[in-house]
Structure 1
């Protein structure tokens, strides 16, 4: 097994810190780290656009991300504000569809990125770890959907 680099150790620590992957074992974090990268975004930077092909997903290590959708009048409407530990862009990576919203750095951000090709490589090289990552993302998506359903029901009452 290759010697972990300083960058891999930093990514491992960020993955452990984000709270998304509680099912991973300590060694899993080290192995998964090699498939992620780090990016720094300045406030106001467009991370991706609604309708783009989904080639990567992100996890916020620090900073705030604004999620925006285009309304019927072609205006950008903020639909969510995301903070530390939150994954975004994962739907397009998992289902192969186009981006359902735009994401903009609402402050200076540091993000962990996982490319669709890196996820495919992880599925081939380390399928058990990739399965745990995908399951954690699916659980987070499911929680968000259940919360939205609850909010919709509360609005109808």
Structure 2
């Protein structure tokens, strides 16, 4: 059985390393580490499937993740490749909708996962820090949306 304090320190370091939560204070990382878990995925393993209930989100710490959507012919089409530091699955956790795409480990991966129930618990236990986490996720989503809008515009020109 791993030492919980060592595990918590490892998660804290991974959260600090991902770059997503730069707005957090050093003490905040220690406080939120207990809400996250580390999950290992092997190459080819489905992390979640399009249409699944969004019960958790992930931050990719090591490896590569393929994001896939089903096209009109029922074929899985890769729409993005995710690398270290990228959060994914957060939309379904934040809005309660079903997964908009499938995510598959394109290599062996190490993920930080945050369950919807853990996020809700964090909101009750540490609302100030949870608000910073949610804001950081919202900013990351906003940047991705702006980038997609820019790509669409350049394709139309």
What's the offset of the Cα at 1:14?
0.1
- SS of corresponding position for 1:72: coil
What's the offset of the Cα at 1:91?
0.1
1:138-157 to structure 2, matched below 5 A, reads 138-157=138-157
Q: Report the equivalent of 2:52.
A: 52
What's the offset of the Cα at 1:36?
0.1
- SS of corresponding position for 2:80: strand
Q: Deviations over 1:86-124 (max 9, x none)?
A: 000000000000000000000000000000000000000
Q: Report the equivalent of 1:103.
A: 103
Q: Within 2, Cα distance between the matches of 1:48 and 1:41?
A: 11
Q: Within 2, Cα distance between the matches of 1:126 and 1:17?
A: 21
- SS of corresponding position for 2:132: helix
Q: Deviations over 1:42-62 (max 9, x none)?
A: 000000000000000000000
Q: Within 2, Cα distance between the matches of 1:128 and 1:44?
A: 38
| Count of residue pairs brought into register by the alignment | 154
1:7-156 to structure 2, matched below 5 A, reads 7-156=7-156
Q: Within 2, Cα distance between the matches of 1:141 and 1:79?
A: 16
- Segments of structure 1 that go 5 or more residues without pairing to the other structure are none
- Segments of structure 2 that go 5 or more residues without pairing to the other structure are none
Q: Point out 4+ residue stretches in structure 1 off by more than 3 angstroms.
A: none
TM (normalized to structure 2)?
0.97
TM (normalized to structure 1)?
0.97
